[in-house]
Structure 1
Amino acid sequence: MTANAPTPGPIPLRPSRRRVRHETVTLAHGGGGSAMRDLVEDVFVSAFAEQQDAAQAAAPLEDQARLPLADLMARGDRLAFTTDSFVVHPLEFAGGDIGRLAVCGTVNDLAVGGAVPVALSCAVVIEEGMAVATLRRIAASIAATAREAGVRVVTGDTKVVARGACDKLFITTSGVGVIRSGVELGIARARPGDVVIVNGPLGDHGAAILAARGELAVETSVASDCAPLNGLIGALLDAAPDTRLIRDATRGGLAAVLNEMAEASAVGVRVDESAIPIRDEVRGLCDLLGLDPLYLGNEGVMVAVVPTGQADAALAALRAHPLGGMAAAIGAITAERPGLVIMDTPFGGTRIVDLLVGDPLPRIC
């Protein structure tokens, strides 16, 4: 399912009259015949077609997307490319689903490098027996989230595997973006005196996934923070053009990002526990289950390191954006104890924030 420049061809990228004739996915839907064509055109092509302009909608499906180089070069001077796979359980949860997660995750991986996301690919591995209605909702969510982020899904692939070979649905998305001239971000660029900033509360995604599984009989009103951060990051870079680095705090949470930057930049990181925004519901759930919110995964939280002279402007820009209302400066980069993350506790003590060996909540993204 690929969008490209107009050329003659028999399979237009526009809403199709072909329809899936089953309520659940069968192995025939991955066999390359008419059943597969029904699934691809009815569920995926129709969902993504409204993203295309008239010329693209009239184009056939080819085996590759074709992106005009002139359009890319007009946006910046370097190409950014990323890929990620998503295997979350359950597929749908408060605040999102695996489709929204896939788009946001790939868009955010581009944006934290300073790139403006342009186009995505989307490959799906579907387990035999999956409800077609669920697949339609997820395809619609992919399309809606791509529109929200200002990117297009331009190519993809569909595979169907036998029951038990995967957990209902796996999605792999890749993304292309363009880094604008003058933007230089990198995990090894933190310097002593810089300020560490987050855009919002930690742990919402991990808490939402935990509650959605129902395995521990816990309930929470917290929804996933899953969101495309490219607009927010653009506002940050406009306000603080000398920003050193940006990372999204996904698996491993804030703790993983802070340790990564401390090691790569050969600096110390000192954070104030009382300054870190965490919702009371998330904190209470973590206390109940013996979890630390610093290690919970997020899908709408970014960590930025900015020079101290631009910190106020950065915070003002973030707080003016819908995804940054709870932005906070949580600490600073130091020359002391390079490679370590030290946290000042509310009780006047300190503790080392280290990396966990594994993930306390598997399969969150």
Structure 2
Amino acid sequence: MSKDKVIRMEHGAGGETMQALIREVILDNITSRSAGLVGLDNLDDGATINIASTIANNKNSDEIVITTDSHVIKPAFFPNSNIGRLAVSGTVNDLAVMGAAPLALTCAIVVPEGFELDSFEQIIRSMNETAEEVGVPIITGDTKTIERNGLDSIIINTTGIGIADEVIRDCGMCPGDRIILTGTIGDHGISLLAHREGFDLTTDLVSDVAPLWNMIRSVIPIRTIEGRPAISAMKDPTRGGLAGALNEMAQKSGTGIIIEQKDLPIKRSVSSACEMLGIDPLEVANEGKAVICVKAEHAEEVLSIIREHEYGKDAAIIGEATDENSRKVLMRTTIGSMRYVDTPTGDLIPRIC
């Protein structure tokens, strides 16, 4: 491997060159590789999860949650992060907003011939660092190569397996619930767009990509006086942004939503860039935020706990669910008028995750 500077077709052909890539680049940069008898080290056709130890460590948990996602972001490296951190964070967050503790991840990578080997290794290291942040092992995977003219950049698929005491659905919102947004909107999409298109916005815009489980896990156990979960619904506002997430939650739950424009956390740099580019920040993707619907009497408690975490320091209560305007999202503007927040109709910024 020492002589290789870029990915060659042989790196995905199954022979010694591929085995060297796995040993010297992938295994050497992933530290947690097992959740059972068979793990990534064993290089079997699959991996195992020890059910007995899983149950012992999660005594009240009785639901296995599985999610999968493919990541095609362009470029693979962007302000503050890369596709490796994005892939792990996105899958961990999909588990987290369903109330599931991540148990294990799988990873399949398709990489074009000519992709720089140093960049590939950096991506693997980022995946490992992000997985370690939430204590989840990467237990099995696959690597394929393709001709350089068949693919313009690396593609990563990650599947996550988690376990939940009680699954949280994105359809569980009820009238009266308060809606908490865990941080500023639009950071990922706008920073990526500016970087990709070469816009000189004279600002330090960076992506918000982050794994949220350690923040979310602290509020999941909160219960109402009647013993029911205080958290009624959660969702991560990725593609389609906050507008897409809120509309989907409203439509699935059959409630209306009113949000307050004055309470929306948004960085001045993002707001200015959106205004200049003619983009609605509500429709811009986020990769390190969550929408949390919580019973009104516990909203301030949940907000306080979320704000204690690094990823939730800018969290805010942005609105509430209502029994009016069923399946619609409205926003009260800063001048007091009301406007509909519609589901985005197209791909505002393509290849962002």
User: In which range does the TM-score fall when normalised by the shorter chain?
Assistant: over 0.9
- List per-residue Cα deviations over 1:10-32 (Å, max 9, x = no partner): xxxxxxxxx35311111111111
Aligned partners of 2:39 and 2:139 also within 8 Å = no
Distance 2:40 2:217 in 1: 33
Distance apart, 1:51 and its partner CA: 5.3
- Structure 1 segment 1-365 matched on structure 2, within 5 A: 19-49=1-31, 60-74=42-56, 75=58, 76-180=61-165, 183-239=166-222, 241-365=229-353
Residue in 2 that maps onto 1:16 = none
Residues 199 and 121 of structure 1: is their aligned pair in 2 closer, same or farther, counting only changes over 3 Å?
same
Give % identity. Answer: 39
- List per-residue Cα deviations over 1:54-111 (Å, max 9, x = no partner): x989953211111111122231111000000001111111121000000000000001
Q: Which amino acid aligns with 1:186?
A: R
Distance 1:138 1:327 in 2: 29
Distance 1:60 1:328 in 2: 46
Aligned partners of 2:40 and 2:140 also within 8 Å = no
Distance apart, 1:308 and its partner CA: 0.5
Aligned partners of 1:20 and 1:38 also within 8 Å = no
> In structure 1, the residue corresponding to 2:220 is in which secondary structure?
helix
Distance 1:218 1:345 in 2: 26
Distance apart, 1:52 and its partner CA: 5.8
Distance apart, 1:319 and its partner CA: 1.0
- List per-residue Cα deviations over 1:305-330 (Å, max 9, x = no partner): 11101111111111111111111110
Residue in 1 that maps onto 2:226 = none
Q: Which amino acid aligns with 1:339?
A: R
Residues 57 and 309 of structure 1: is their aligned pair in 2 closer, same or farther, counting only changes over 3 Å?
closer
> In structure 2, the residue corresponding to 1:191 is in which secondary structure?
coil
Residues 59 and 285 of structure 1: is their aligned pair in 2 closer, same or farther, counting only changes over 3 Å?
closer
Distance 1:126 1:340 in 2: 42
Aligned partners of 1:115 and 1:177 also within 8 Å = yes
Q: Which amino acid aligns with 2:135?
A: G
Distance 2:139 2:39 in 1: 11
Distance 1:151 1:201 in 2: 26
Residues 59 and 31 of structure 1: is their aligned pair in 2 closer, same or farther, counting only changes over 3 Å?
closer
| TM-score of the pair, normalised by structure 2 | 0.94
Q: Which amino acid aligns with 1:356?
A: P
Distance 2:265 2:208 in 1: 13
Distance 2:6 2:198 in 1: 26
Distance 1:173 1:105 in 2: 9
Compute the RMSD of aligned alpha carbons. 1.8
Runs of 5+ unmatched residues, structure 1: 1-18
Distance apart, 1:184 and its partner CA: 4.1
Over 6 Å off, 4+ runs: 55-58
Distance 1:217 1:346 in 2: 29
Distance apart, 1:214 and its partner CA: 3.1
Aligned partners of 2:39 and 2:140 also within 8 Å = no
> In structure 2, the residue corresponding to 1:323 is in which secondary structure?
helix
Moved more, 267-276 or 30-39: 30-39
Distance 2:331 2:32 in 1: 48
- List per-residue Cα deviations over 1:326-352 (Å, max 9, x = no partner): 111100100111011010000111110
Residues 226 and 59 of structure 1: is their aligned pair in 2 closer, same or farther, counting only changes over 3 Å?
closer
Distance apart, 1:163 and its partner CA: 1.0
